[in-house]
Amino acid sequence: MLHGDGKMSTINLAFPNSKHMFCMLHCKDNVRHHLSSIGVPTSVREGVLTRLFGCNGVAASADETTMDNRMAELMQYVRQNNVDAVSYLQDRVLAP
């Protein structure tokens, strides 16, 4: 993405493979709603949301390596807690 001054945006430099940008507030609300609708207990749901949107979550990653590591930690947490949301998270939330 080029700005009027011809410089690449900082986001594209940090995340060159990213194709979409979304509002984090709406994403967080969507994930919370989905997890609630499939019956994920509150404590586990909040654990997922923290790993996604917290200060050390996927969304706060400064570069792709950190993001990849945090996504792996998130998916490990989801699988360990038997949350039936692996496909949802991979296809709708974490998809490039």
Q: Where are the domains of the chain?
A: 20-93
Over residues 12-20, mean pLDDT: 64
What pairs with residue 8 in β-bridges? 2
Q: What is the pLDDT of residue 6?
A: 42
* pLDDT tens profile 78-89: 999 999 999 999
pTM: 0.75
Question: Are 67 and 58 a contacting pair, CB within 8 Å?
Answer: yes
Percentages (nearest 5) of helix, strand, coil residues in the chain: 60, 0, 35
Contacts of 27 (CB under 8 A, 6+ apart): 52, 53, 59, 93
User: Within the chain, what is the greatest distance between any pair of CA atoms?
Assistant: 49
Over residues 70-76, mean pLDDT: 97
* pLDDT tens profile 35-72: 999 999 999 999 999 999 999 999 999 999 999 999 99
Q: How confident is the model at residue 7 (pLDDT cuts 50, 70, 90)?
A: very low
Sort 25 into a burial class: Cβ within 10 Å, 0-12 / 13-18 / 19+: exposed
pLDDT at 12 over 90: no
